[in-house]
Amino acid sequence: MGKIFYLMGKSASGKDTIYKKLRECCPKLRTIVLYTTRPMRDGETDGVEYHFTTPDQLARFEKAGKVIELRTYQTVCGPWSYATVDDGQIDLKQRDYLMIGTLESYEKMLAYFGKTAMEPIYVTVDDGVRLERALARERLQREPKYAELCRRFLADEEDFSEKNRKRCGITKEYCNDDLNACVREIMETVFSIQNH
């Protein structure tokens, strides 16, 4: 039985960078690309970071019973939805996967696939560092959305609370003070589980 190594952390914790590095270092891990209705950011590619879609298309997936988990956030730019869709990407009989998402989506994936299929990888970093990173990233956008940055930052405090992590069985944290050391530690966990 395959595993889904599920990478998550608060916004600007470095999880997107870690995800990219893990994809380079662990090419046997397949990826699961989420669907989103949010606008594409500068530097993103459809089908790589996300499948950028419409609310109507997500509704058609739901009607067809293909949505594994769906979240909609009321952002300062309007509602943005994110979904994991059973579109043929996942075959746990044959492969292991690397996925990135939120604690809420992890919990729904856990309910759908079961505890033996899911391996949480929770990335942490000092909140001050996260805020600096988020601000630097947002400044690079053609139209920075600072209010949305603040909303996400505050929402993550509640979403990733110790109580919520404990409820989901997340006990291990990977500190991203040093990117390369953090990636090495995660890789050791992945290889250990794959070779067990």
Per-residue model confidence as pLDDT tens digits over 59-93: 999 999 999 999 998 888 899 999 999 999 999 99
Residues 6 or more apart whose Cβ sits within 8 Å of residue 16? 49, 100
Amino acid present at 46: D
Mean pLDDT of 176-183: 96
Provide the token pair at 19.
Answer: 């995800």
Residues 6 or more apart whose Cβ sits within 8 Å of residue 184? none
pLDDT at position 173: 97
pLDDT at position 73: 87
pLDDT at position 75: 86
pLDDT at position 30: 94
Radius of gyration of the chain (CA): 16
**Count of residues making up the chain:** 196
pLDDT beyond 80 at 23: yes
Q: Model pTM?
A: 0.85
CA–CA separation, 190 vs 166, rounded Å?
Answer: 21
pLDDT beyond 90 at 38: yes
Region at 61 (left for phi over 0; alpha for psi -120 to 50; beta for the rest): alpha
